[in-house]
């Protein structure tokens, strides 16, 4: 088939990110130590260009490119835009932290951009092969980022754990893919869907393949009982890396689960629905209960992430258009919440000090009332308190589950959400009702303050006016 430059249009955002990573890599060689901030500016420009290109090439009919390996549809447009916005926010929050520790190196930005490229490839994948390539590009970049601070023993240990368990998860996912390929004779998701619809659950190889896929997805999402790496990696990784790891990649992981289970294996819905139900209940239960016992706030956020993954699974297992749309809405808004919450930790950190424990948030209102208000808003949203977007996300997911007559599942989720509200509101209590443990002023930049303001107010705005984003999510699943 002759090459046509028009084929490149659907992947212009990916090309922009790849070129930016290459430019940063080369430019960094010629920068003096005092000029390293140029890397930051170049990376943000690259993300902005990719975001604009996503808007320009997006919309309209679903388009397949590169012999069906890549798809551009409304879901990919929306998820790419979300991943790029959240990634840009995390880079803005990360810069002062990196500068204070002389870690403002080009490698950080190159690895971050490669991780973003992996996310975009995953979101656009229409075959098992493309999906796996994107997943590995994302994973390998994240392994290196977790170990980025070479002087941190905790970081090196976390990276090693992440690498070993990530490799195990990738292996199980690949094993499941190979079984499905063996049963259907194709790696293209449309062809797989047609073959699965013909064979159904009578083909035991297919059912085993789905089981391994769900286990692999569970590892990548950090769902219970494949969650053991999440709190350790969040605690050991440098705060900006934990922020990046806990936000944007969740959007790519959501794309992966939709492409695999919804688009490729929807005919086996009854088989994977039960598996996701077990993972969802365990994740929401253990995530919320274990978070209460944590004094390290990064570990607390780790267990909190596990419980939110359970809610995303609830929307997906509903198997309805409404369920998929609500899970997508939840994923996008959760990524925004996670970026903001970790962003506050990077702002509170300074040279020689990392905000790691709950006590470090004591008296934040006396030190900086605006950041205190933003953190309180983010915590209320994570707890699902109206009128924040977290409440709307939980409500939509629970409604989707109730509509498919799984009321017991919704009741379990509500019960553990009430338990989970405790540890979020404890953070608000520390911020407003306790005395500060230090008199050191919070040093921040105008850019970081503006980004946090946009982030926090977006959580409130999307909670009050969710219709626009929800409408886009619903349009992605016609």
235 CB contacts (<8 Å, ≥6 apart)? 154, 158, 242, 296, 298, 299, 302, 356
Report DSSP state, residue 247: S
Q: How far apart are CA 344 and CA 340, in angstroms?
A: 6
242 CB contacts (<8 Å, ≥6 apart)? 233, 234, 235, 298, 301, 342
Task: Tell me the DSSP string of 171-233.
Answer: HHHHHHHHHHHHHHS--BHHHHHHHHHHHGGG-HHHHHHHHHHHHHHHHHHT-TTS-THHHHH
Residue 362 near residue 437, CB atoms below 8 Å? yes
pLDDT of residue 114: 93
Q: How far apart are CA 437 and CA 355, in angstroms?
A: 12
Mean pLDDT per 10-residue section of the chain, whose length is 478 residues: 70 90 89 81 92 85 82 89 92 87 83 93 90 92 87 84 88 90 85 82 80 88 84 88 90 90 82 87 90 87 90 87 90 91 86 78 84 90 87 90 87 88 88 80 82 90 89 85
Report the run of H or E that residue 65 belongs to, with start and end: strand 63-65
Q: How far apart are CA 184 and CA 182, in angstroms?
A: 6
37 is written with which tokens?
Answer: 């901030």
33 CB-contact burial (10 Å; exposed 0-12 / middle 13-18 / buried 19+): exposed
332 CB contacts (<8 Å, ≥6 apart)? 78, 79, 82, 251, 469, 473
Find the domain containing 64 and state its range. 5-475
410 is written with which tokens?
Answer: 């919704």
Neighbours of 11 (CB within 10 A): 19
* Residue in 43, 126, 133 with CA at minimum distance from that of residue 88: 43
Strand partners, 296: 357
If one counts the domains in the chain, the total is 1
pTM: 0.93
436 CB contacts (<8 Å, ≥6 apart)? 362, 363, 364, 366, 367
Strand partners, 71: 64
Q: How far apart are CA 62 and CA 425, in angstroms?
A: 44
pLDDT of residue 52: 92
User: If DSSP codes are grouped into helix, strand and coil, which group holds residue 349?
Assistant: coil
């Amino acid at each position: 088939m002759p090459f046509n430059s028009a084929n490149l249009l659907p992947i212009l955002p990916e090309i922009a990110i790849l070129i930016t990573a290459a430019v940063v890599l080369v430019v960094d060689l010629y920068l003096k130590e005092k000029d390293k901030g140029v890397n930051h500016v170049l990376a943000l420009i690259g993300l902005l260009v990719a975001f604009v290109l996503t808007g320009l090439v997006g919309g309209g009919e679903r388009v397949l490119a590169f012999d069906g390996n890549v798809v551009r549809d409304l879901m990919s447009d929306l998820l790419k835009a979300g991943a790029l916005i959240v990634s840009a926010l995390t880079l803005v929050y990360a810069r002062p932290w990196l500068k204070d520790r002389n870690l403002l190196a080009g490698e950080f930005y190159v690895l971050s951009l490669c991780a973003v490229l992996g996310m975009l490839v995953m979101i656009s994948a229409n075959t098992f092969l493309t999906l796996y390539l994107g997943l590995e590009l994302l994973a390998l970049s994240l392994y290196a980022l977790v170990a980025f601070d070479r002087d941190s023993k905790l970081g090196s240990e976390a990276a090693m754990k992440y690498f070993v368990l990530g490799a195990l998860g990738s292996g199980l996912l690949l094993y499941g893919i190979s079984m499905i390929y063996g049963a259907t004779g194709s790696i293209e998701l449309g062809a797989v869907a047609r073959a699965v619809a013909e064979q159904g659950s009578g083909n035991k190889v297919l059912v085993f393949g789905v089981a391994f896929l769900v286990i692999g997805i569970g590892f990548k999402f950090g769902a219970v009982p494949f969650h053991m790496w999440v709190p350790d990696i969040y605690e050991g990784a440098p705060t900006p890396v934990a922020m990046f790891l806990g936000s944007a990649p969740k959007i790519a992981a959501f794309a992966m689960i939709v492409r695999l289970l919804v688009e490729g294996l929807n005919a086996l819905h009854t088989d994977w629905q039960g598996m996701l139900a077990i993972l969802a209940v365990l994740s929401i239960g253990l995530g919320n209960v274990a978070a209460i016992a944590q004094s390290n706030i990064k570990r607390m956020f780790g267990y909190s992430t596990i419980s939110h993954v359970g809610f995303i699974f609830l929307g997906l297992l509903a198997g309805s258009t409404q369920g998929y749309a609500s899970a997508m809405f939840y994923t996008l808004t959760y990524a925004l919440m996670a970026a903001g919450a970790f962003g506050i930790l990077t702002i509170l950190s300074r040279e020689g000090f990392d905000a790691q424990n709950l006590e470090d948030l004591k008296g934040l209102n006396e030190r900086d009332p605006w950041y205190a208000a933003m953190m309180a808003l983010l915590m209320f949203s994570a707890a699902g308190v109206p009128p924040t977007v977290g409440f709307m996300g939980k409500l939509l997911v629970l409604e989707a589950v109730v509509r498919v007559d799984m009321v017991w599942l919704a009741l379990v989720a509500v019960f553990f959400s009430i338990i989970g509200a405790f540890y979020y509101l404890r953070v608000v209590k520390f911020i407003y009702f306790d005395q500060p443990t230090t008199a050191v002023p919070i040093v921040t930049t105008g850019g970081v303050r503006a980004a946090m303001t946009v982030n926090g107010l977006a959580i409130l705005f999307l909670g009050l006016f969710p219709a626009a984003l929800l409408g886009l999510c619903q349009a992605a699943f016609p």
